[in-house]
Amino acid sequence: MILDRRAFVRTGLAGLAMMPSCLTRAQAANTIRIGVITDMSGVYRDVSGPTTVACAQQAADEFMAQNPDIRVEILVADHQNKPDVGLTIIRQWFDRGGVDLIENVGNSSIALGARGIIEDKKKAALITTAGSSDLTGKSCSPNWVHWSWDSWCLAHSTATSLVRVGGDRWFFITADYAFGHAAEADATKFVKAAGGRVLGSVRYPLGSTADFSSYLLQAQSSGANVIAFANSGSELIACLKQAQEFGIEGGGVRLAAMVGYITDVVGMSLPVAKGLSLTETFYWDLNERTRSFMGRVKPRLASGVFPNMSQAGDYAGVLHYLKAVKELGVARAKADGRAVVELMKRMPTDDDAFGRGSIREDGRKIHPAYLFEVKKPEESRGAGDVYKLVSTMPAEEAFRPLAEGGCVLSRS
């Protein structure tokens, strides 16, 4: 069953209480319910939203095709980027919605705030779009897995590589919430470690403006040769379009996205995004397996849409979770989300989006990271052909060392 934003608003939270009654007792006992809580209408709709739902459903359908005795239902709700809304949805889903796993959780403040609820209710969470590295650091949980990327990974890859090629004076334009703070802090550390300097930063409330001109002019006047954006979605697109209007990108200044997605690049077009530096851990045209995944999920997607690393993580993470449910048994999986997560960590991961990998004891999913540069329009062969691979960071280096995160689950 899919509950879109309109249905969610129409039925209200109380409506969730009635959902399990649609199932017979036998069906409910053998049914896993996954609640995809994401941005269906706001600034991060394109980087998560409907494509996230499509990728999660793809994983569920592939699993059920191989395991017809286990039923998987996908529910969807819009957190509207408001922690109070997101946490209310999660609590109601667990209390009266029969949800076993919350998935995507596309906002770091909501993810961090939900930890106590998830643990108290003995449920599980798969986090793919919330980016704070604290999720596997000081705020880690034995009940969740953090897939796809985090602020440490992207900052490490992007900042270190750019300083090495001369981008040694940085200025940040940062969304003022948990993820933005973490992304700026992590990148600042790597810039300095590589021998660069941070000349300044400016913060703005998430979702508060579409006019970034004053911030861009402040960054330009600082003398920085890298302007780094610790934001995402429509706000990143607005920043880059306005930077083009001011001629900043053509003036010897590199533009870098601390979180950038193919969905952003396609949305703003190559003439706007050309030359942008960013890191992703998935690209649909990277190899035969990624192209195979793209071919299977494409019929579910809107025209011209190519999944990004978070959305690929929705597919890969849900598939791995369901494999663990099968191994553990549905009844036990429904009773103990922590047990499912523990088994997910013990089982090697392998899927067409990320290939082979593993999940560490702190909940961090491990795989390579790729530094890309956005192609010029004349370099592209067609729709979706947007990236030039600059460098690959191997899995063992791509994420923060286990011993440095401060996670209480670490035995190091």
CB 127 within 8 A of CB 146: yes
Assess whether pLDDT exceeds 70 at residue 1: no
Alpha helices in 104-177 (DSSP H): 108-113, 115-120, 151-164
pLDDT in tens, 353-368: 999 999 999 999 999 9
Lowest mean pLDDT segment, chosen from 11-25, 184-198, 291-305: 11-25
Largest CA distance in the chain: 66
Q: Any idea how long the chain is?
A: 412
- Reported confidence tier of residue 186, pLDDT bands at 50, 70, 90: confident
Spatial CB neighbours of 242, under 8 Å, sequence gap ≥ 6? 211, 212, 213, 216
Nearest-CA neighbor of 131 among 88, 174, 164, 101?
174
**124 φ/ψ angles, rounded to the nearest 5 degrees:** -130, 155
Per-residue pLDDT of 330-389, as tens digits, reads: 999 999 999 999 999 999 999 999 999 999 999 999 999 999 999 999 999 999 999 999
DSSP per residue, 84-122: HHHHHHHHHHHHHS--SEEEE---HHHHHHTHHHHHHTT
Distance, in Å, from the CA atom of 291 to the CA atom of 286, rounded to the nearest integer, reads 7
pLDDT at residue 18 in the model: 34
Ordered by where they begin, the domains of the chain are 31-149+287-367 (3.40.50.2300), 152-280+369-393 (3.40.50.2300)
pLDDT of residue 7: 39
Q: Kindly report, residue by residue over 258-285, the tens digit of the pLDDT.
A: 988 999 899 889 999 999 999 999 999 9
- Under DSSP, is residue 222 helix (H, G, I), strand (E, B) or coil? coil
Secondary structure letter of residue 379 according to DSSP: G
